[in-house]
Amino acid sequence: MTHSDEPKAMPRVVAVVLTWNDTELTTACLRSVLASDYPDLRVVLVDNGSTPPRGPSLAAAFSEVDLVQLDVNQGFSGGANRGLERALEMGADYVHLIGNDATLAPDAIRRLVETCEGRPDVGAASPLLLDPGEPRIVQFYRATLDREVAIHMHHDVGIPYESRDWPLTESEFIPMVALFFRAEALRNVGLLDESFGTCWEDYDLCLRFHEAGWKYVTVGDATATHIGSYTTGRVSPYITYYTVRNRLICLQRYSPPDVWKRRWLDLLRSFRLQVRNYGWTNWRCHWALLRGFFDFARKVKGERGQREPAKIPGQA
């Protein structure tokens, strides 16, 4: 056998599971990752400042897991970045960032690798996301962006998975549930912007990937089940504050300066819809929304109270 005939080494995948104040869901997530049929797989668990810490007991139960135990919660962006940094240090070719409320099909990672190996323009890929339970209902397949008003619109959701084929598709936006990154792209673009703290860091990252020339795709025959909003809740003052403030940051960062003049009605309707979703009499969320506007004007970033702009890891 000549040197050129030698089989190519399989790409190394490092899965990063992020958890906070949870054991049950994280256990199910880790079990699903470790049941993967992909051979060159390492697993990193990031305990993002749980009180009391959950990481040591989980690491004891799963000896294959490399633990990153954080003393304080660093927000989703900070916790995720500590895991991504560890994965890159471990020589990852691909990094699979997985929320603890997701579980993977055994062949998901293999199918993601196969897709990315065949598409060198892909910077990040996602399995198709399913709601828990039967029948299996599609939670996420693809999304488009309206960058002017900083929103993403999801398509082909609420459909039974078995009702049709789900081919590989490009997607302008992918939620950060089980996002599979090419390590080269992460080094090129940088990691998550920690000035967001929590919420909208996925929107910001996808635009940075697109601007650098990388594609986002969903691999339809790779699946993951996602409970959704387990850690933060779907409706809370916490989520309301960060979604408002961080969306405004994205509007300022990526939208034309005259967008408020040209599309003020669309922007007003979108914030009105947010109020309707959390409830007209939910005064705590009303106050959080106003605080989000106020802190945006004051240039407050990161976890609330941090005023210094955070540097994007991986960028000069």
Q: 13 pairs with which residues across the strands?
A: 41, 94
Per-domain boundaries in the chain? 3-226, 237-297
* Contact indicator for 190, 208 with CB cutoff of 8 Å: yes
Residue 238 confidence (pLDDT): 86
> Among positive and negative, which fits the CA dihedral 175, 180, 186, 189?
negative
What is the number of other CB atoms lying within 10 angstroms of the CB of residue 133? 8
Straight-line distance from the first to the last Cα atom of the chain, in angstroms, rounded to the nearest whole number: 45
- DSSP letter string over 140-155? ESEEEEETTTTEEEEE
Residues with Cβ within 8 Å of residue 293, at least 6 apart in sequence:
244, 245, 248
Residue 5 confidence (pLDDT): 54
Residue 285 confidence (pLDDT): 86
Low-confidence ranges of the chain (pLDDT < 70): 1-7, 229-234, 303-316
Residue 148 confidence (pLDDT): 87
Residue 68 confidence (pLDDT): 98
Counting Cα atoms < 13 Å in the Cβ hemisphere of 244 gives 28
What type of residue is 145? L
Specify whether domain 3-226 bears CATH 3.40.630.10: no
pLDDT, one tens digit per residue, over 221-242 is 999 999 975 455 567 888 889 9
